Amino acid sequence: MTTYVLATNHVDTSARLCDYLVDRVSRSDTVHAVNSLHGGDETDTEDVRDGEESLTVVSSRLGAVTTVETHQFVRGNDPYEDVLAQAEAADADELVIGIRKRNPTSKVVFGSTAQRILLHSDRPIVAIPLEELD
C-alpha cells in the first residue's frame, strides 16, 4: 500500500499528474489530492471553484483505480504548508507536484510553492513537467 499526496492548483495540472499516477497506483493505494488557497482578500469564488474542479479531475481520473481523498484548504497558509501538513498527516510515501519551464533557454525555474515543497519535505518527491515552452 502506497500513499501519495498530489498538489494541484489547476485542472491541467491535475490531468498531467494523473497521467503520471494512473499506471502506478493500485487498489490498495491512496491518493490525497490537495488544493490550497490563501483565503481572505487573496481568494475569490472563482479561485475556490477552480480548486474544486482541479480536485474533481483527480477523483474522476483515478477514482476507478484507487482510493482518492480530496482536500481543499482555505485557511491562510502558504500552499506548500498545507501540502506538507497533509503529507505528514497521511504519512505519505511520495509527493507528486508539477513544475514549469519558464524561460526561452529552457532553464527550469520552480514556482515558489514547488520550490518550497522541494526544500522543506523529508519525503520522496516526483516533479512532473507541466508544459514545454520554447
Tens of pLDDT, residues 55-76: 999 999 999 999 999 999 998 8
Number of H helices, E strands in the chain: 4, 5
Q: Give percent of the chain above pLDDT 90.
A: 72
Contacts of 44 (CB under 8 A, 6+ apart): none
Cell numbers representing residue 116 in the block: 518550497
Q: Which residue has the higher pLDDT, 90 or 100?
A: 90
Choices 3.40.50.450, 1.10.10.60, 3.40.50.620, 3.30.1330.20: CATH for 3-129: 3.40.50.620
- pTM of the complete model: 0.88
User: Highest mean pLDDT range out of 33-42, 84-93, 124-133?
Assistant: 84-93
CA dist., res. 95 & res. 125, Å (int): 5
Is residue 111 pLDDT above 70, yes or no?
Answer: no
Give the separation between CA 14 and CA 130, rounded to whole angstroms. Answer: 10
- Asked whether the beta carbons of 30 and 74 are under 8 A apart, the reply is no
Q: How confident is the model at residue 101 (pLDDT cuts 50, 70, 90)?
A: low
